[in-house]
Structure 1
Amino acid sequence: MDNTPASNFLQTIIAEDIDAGRVTEVVTRFPPEPNGYLHLGHAKSISVNFGLAQANGGRCNLRFDDTNPEKESQEYIESILADVAWLGYAWDGDVRYASSYFQQLYDWAVYLVEQGRAYVCDLNAEEAREYRGTLTEPGKNSPHRERSVEENLDLLARMKAGEFDEGAKVLRARIDMASPNMNMRDPIMYRIRKIAHHQTGTDWVIYPTYDFAHGQEDAIEGVTHSICTLEFEDHRPLYDWYIENLPVQSRPRQYEFGRLNPSYTITSKRKLKNLVDGGTVAGWDDPRMPTISGMRRRGYPAVALRKFCEMIGTTRKDGVVDVAMLEFAVREELNENAPRAMAVLNPVKVVLTDYPEDKVEQLTAPNHPSREELGVRTLPFSREVYIDAEDFREEANKKYKRLVLGKRVRLRNAYVIEADEVIKDEAGNVVEIHAHTIPNTIGENPEDGIKPKGVIQWVSAAHGVAAEVRVYDRLFNHEAPDKGDNDYMSHINPASLQVVTGAMLEPSLAQATSEQGFQFEREGYFVADRYDHTSDKPVFNKTIGLRDTWNG
């Protein structure tokens, strides 16, 4: 798979603006609404806005568009700050908030009323829908559209003072109810919400809409390129109308790019919240979630997410991106940088009958097959070891390259052994394998002529560490879980999480630090859980397999 960075039409626009002298300093912004955790689509937007600023010697603001306090919380704010920083980006100056501009926005609303370009409307929600018209029929003017400037100023001031109930009145821009663009049909600027705000407390009982606030916030901050996803293209005329009709400090321009729609994934905040609230997942940072926090806890490296966003490019067209591209970027990064270790997820004991009971050898193994700078580790080797139950058969054909009775296999970084007999329980299950070592099969020059059938991982029974291993897979088993009439809940993958409680790890893994990733040899890539892992009770999450098992 090609991981060359794809084209970015926005870079072309910015370069032309710089060359033509229209822009002297590039200023972008990332403007999340703090009403949920950020997901993979936001990672793309972050990489676009911060990346373009970095590439052109500019700056990028982080601004919370917190105009809807009913759905917002400090928890979401803190998670977003952590996610952006973890991805490796630094915002310019202090964190910004739309709520910091509430007074200025209100003053500009008053200005539009004074100019005859805004009015207070009493239509309720149902009436407003009727008056708005349809895509094929023009809307009708509100009966309150011709109120005098004086009456509108009085009503707006009384709205701000809290005299009216929620839903009783709104402030609307006076544009064109016959416009073919529905967003231009006298859109709402302010609505009454008698709810405390996480930043301003109870100072306000009216709040600006996103469409009214967004462009003006960009102007206040001197944003030169206001970049958003393609669904806001129809909102751009309204964005421009406000800029043109207000005495703002600067004239930002809006540009749209195709949003990231990954396969086997949903990115609707509402639906993701339903998964959390309904207990389908353990939280917003569940490793199966497409949230940045979830991918971080899963063990996806931040650099792999950034590379993925570069690989898919930035275009003017929406499209579905194969999530396998993200998994490829993760595998490539971990293969290059993750140290190796051994873990036995389904252990069965092997007793080496010729090995002294009291003998312990300290073997050395490289932490990475091609990265000498990552050093070596010590592996204690003793008479009893654990191997994976899948690595033994009493009988097998020639294609089976693991341990078979009467056949030989190498224990990785240790001896070649040969299986002699098995011990079974009353139900006929193998509970113990007896084997012997082949002399002189360890080190730089093993005995000539020794040709084991394969290599398997192992852990010393006396020194291994018991651990919980959480084996994660894709949350959905349908390529487009919420497309069309699909009920995304019916496509939950029942095998998306399997908890292994009897795994045995090589002893060095107990000292792994939180979020430290490894390749468990022959098993896949795993990470020490961000929250639950301790040296006393190791907990590892499976990040991804060694190969793509979904596409064969």
Structure 2
Amino acid sequence: MSRHHQAPAEIEGQALRTSNFLRQVIEKDLATGTYAQRQWGGGPGDAAFHAAGQPDPAKIRTRFPPEPNGYLHVGHAKSICLNFGLARDYGGVCHMRFDDTNPEKEEKEYVDSILDAVQWLGFNWESNFNGKQESHLYYASNYFDFMYRAAEYLITAGHAYVDEQTAEDMRINRGDFGKPGVDSPFRSRSPEENLARFREMRDGKLADGAAVLRAKIDMASPNINLRDPAIYRIRRATHHNTGDAWCIYPMYTFAHPIEDALEQITHSIATLEFEDQRPFYDWLLERLCEGGLLKAPPPRQYEFARLNLTYVITSKRKLAQLVNEKKVSGWDDPRMPTIVGLRRRGYTPEAIQLFAERIGVTKSDSWIDYSTLDGCLREDLENKAHRGMAVLDPVKLVLTNWAEVFGSDGYTEDCTQPALPHSTIAEGQTPPPDRVFKIGKDVWIEREDFEEVPPKGYKRLFPGNVVRLKGGYVIECTGCAKDAEGKVTEVHAKVIPGTKSGTPGADSVKAKAAITWVGNADGVSAEVRLYDRLFTDPQPDAGGKNFLDALNPDSLKVVTAVVEPSLAAAKPDQKFQFERHGYFVADRADHGVGGKVVFNRVTGLKDRWN
């Protein structure tokens, strides 16, 4: 294991809310009053708007700014927990902002799914300071007017120019890491010429791609991002929010810092790939503060390492490929790392929050083992997921002396077991009602619980052996029946009277093992989807590998199981521990439809991949 690959054992012992470099930055800023003099105008705005406002009641402001062009995945979940969590912990507020400056990719479907995902994870964008409630749901496209104004200011101040080189010439003249860039022949235009040309861009007088607005910084900078980056382009496309009002659109690197500043963000937290963009982020905000358009001090950007989770891919393009090529059933397929997929699989918001806290925040890339996420889920569900018995590979067990003991083959008895183990019930907490299920002559057991010729150490059913049906009677195996191919079709046993669990004679006969079972009298047929990891390679797309080659052919097996009645009565999205098998959830889409009983396996009782 490499030193950058954190095993679960190294993470498990970390205390919740351990310090990290972001917390240290925030605590220092609060101690020194870096942002203590800020004003808040009641919403996003320029310098004059906020100057007319009140002292900002939020000690810090963070933001979660996704593009609404896809479904969020587990990496976004880390960012959500980080940004909303820091605001919560330090008396601040986290803004929910859609970075919808790209007119060609945004769809309302994605906007709705993102809002739903954030709320499902346990967060919201409301603030309530001094009895005043505010919503902080924002759309970057509502700032287009200011962005245009900022662009015109940069032009008049000599900090931007319209470049009409071809895209290819621009690329060549930009240089590379070993060669400085070459000034554009349009770089020396006067501010007046640039302003007139930019307005022609705005008014639709230039074709798409005919010109761009570039910041005028330094074509010889060792940071290629400072070699006069493009900040506006011509793009005739209908925007989901502004319609056809604009035919020029700001570039992301220009829009993003402005969005932060208009919203008075204090700590703009981004992933490491934006580290090289930070000098432009700072340059742009310094220029706009100099011009009086924005209020000082401007936001600061801080970068952290994105989540690299084993057996997972998070590229939107590759995830879309899985959906479009029908390798999975959709964005909410329980094998997908999308938040909707994790939710349908049965992961809980509490488990994901615990996972985000436990893996921490660093500035260096590392791989987190997927078993860490499963461990957080088990920790969350251990004390709250009701227990139940399910037989996933059923074979019938016939108690051949049932009528002799109880007077009738049709006789049944109620058995009870606790919904939660007594050890999980907190002091003073009322335990949930016991589960009630019936035992009769025929019950279902797991096929693996019978061996006609047992291997060494086998303690379950074989001829002559005595086991307990959990919550029921002790039985003695007498043999089996087989079909023409030699496959066991029934297991035979005798019930031992007076040994029912919970009765005075329960311990009169010692059984070497207890096995799970479901009665034929009230067991319910269920579709159980045994999900597993989507990929067999822990890093399926690393190093240019074709991730499709690593698809796990056994990532989904569907079986017809028999479950006890308490499980059949589950509500969609209700989680259970199937005794001995692991954690399962009633499928939130299909369970209950047309009377169907459908469960998904979330994870086993222990990790099987290490």
| TM-score between both structures, scaled by the size of structure 1 | 0.97
- Are 2:172 and 1:113 aligned? no
Q: How far does the alpha carbon of each residue in 1:417-470 deviate from its partner, in whole angstroms, 9 at most, with x for none?
A: 122221211111111122221111113333444222212111111311111111
What residue number does 1:248 align with? 294
Tell me if structure 2 keeps the 8 A contact 1:7–1:315: no
What residue number does 2:332 align with? 285
Give the deviation of 1:104 after TM superposition: 0.9
Give the deviation of 1:398 after TM superposition: 4.4
Partner SS state of residue 42, structure 1: helix
Q: How far does the alpha carbon of each residue in 1:314-346 deviate from its partner, in whole angstroms, 9 at most, with x for none?
A: 122221112221111112212222110111111
Partner SS state of residue 104, structure 2: helix
Report the CA distance shift for 1:315/1:396 in structure 2 as closer, same or farther (over 3 A): same
- Are 2:273 and 1:215 aligned? no
- Are 2:86 and 1:44 aligned? no
User: What is the CA–CA distance in structure 1 between the aligned matches of 2:204 and 2:510, rounded to whole Å?
Assistant: 85
Report the CA distance shift for 1:98/1:448 in structure 2 as closer, same or farther (over 3 A): closer
What residue number does 2:533 align with? 474
Q: How far does the alpha carbon of each residue in 1:49-100 deviate from its partner, in whole angstroms, 9 at most, with x for none?
A: 1111111111110101111132221111111111111110111314111111
Partner SS state of residue 403, structure 1: coil
Matches within 5 A, 1:193-272: 193-246=235-288, 247-250=293-296, 251-272=298-319
Partner SS state of residue 69, structure 1: coil
Q: Percent identity?
A: 53
What residue number does 2:455 align with? 397
Matched residue type, 1:459: V
What residue number does 2:424 align with? 371
User: What is the CA–CA distance in structure 2 between the aligned matches of 1:233 and 1:47, rounded to whole Å?
Assistant: 21
How many correspondences in the alignment?
A: 550
What residue number does 1:86 align with? 120
Partner SS state of residue 139, structure 1: coil
Which residue of 581, 584, 597 corresponds with 1:538?
597
What residue number does 2:371 align with? 324
Report the CA distance shift for 1:202/1:446 in structure 2 as closer, same or farther (over 3 A): farther
Partner SS state of residue 274, structure 2: helix
Tell me if structure 1 keeps the 8 A contact 2:399–2:492: yes
User: What is the CA–CA distance in structure 2 between the aligned matches of 1:280 and 1:451, rounded to whole Å?
Assistant: 50
User: What is the CA–CA distance in structure 2 between the aligned matches of 1:410 and 1:191, rounded to whole Å?
Assistant: 74
Partner SS state of residue 479, structure 2: strand
Q: How far does the alpha carbon of each residue in 1:215-238 deviate from its partner, in whole angstroms, 9 at most, with x for none?
A: 111111111111111111111000
Structure 1's unaligned 5+ residue stretches are: none
| TM-score between both structures, scaled by the size of structure 2 | 0.88
Could you tell which deviates more after superposition, 143-152 or 127-136? 143-152
- Are 2:17 and 1:17 aligned? no
Matched residue type, 1:495: D
Matched residue type, 2:186: H
Matches within 5 A, 1:61-460: 61-92=95-126, 93-246=135-288, 247-250=293-296, 251-355=298-402, 356-369=408-421, 370-372=423-425, 373-444=431-502, 445-460=504-519
Report the CA distance shift for 1:375/1:448 in structure 2 as closer, same or farther (over 3 A): closer
Tell me if structure 2 keeps the 8 A contact 1:510–1:534: no
RMSD: 1.5
Q: How far does the alpha carbon of each residue in 1:183-236 deviate from its partner, in whole angstroms, 9 at most, with x for none?
A: 111111111222212222222222111110111111111111111111111110
Matched residue type, 2:145: Q
Matched residue type, 1:134: D
Which residue of 546, 561, 576 corresponds with 1:518?
576
User: What is the CA–CA distance in structure 2 between the aligned matches of 1:63 and 1:476, rounded to whole Å?
Assistant: 33
User: What is the CA–CA distance in structure 2 between the aligned matches of 1:68 and 1:16, rounded to whole Å?
Assistant: 36
Partner SS state of residue 122, structure 2: coil
Matched residue type, 1:318: D
Partner SS state of residue 190, structure 1: strand
Q: How far does the alpha carbon of each residue in 1:110-133 deviate from its partner, in whole angstroms, 9 at most, with x for none?
A: 111111211111223222211111
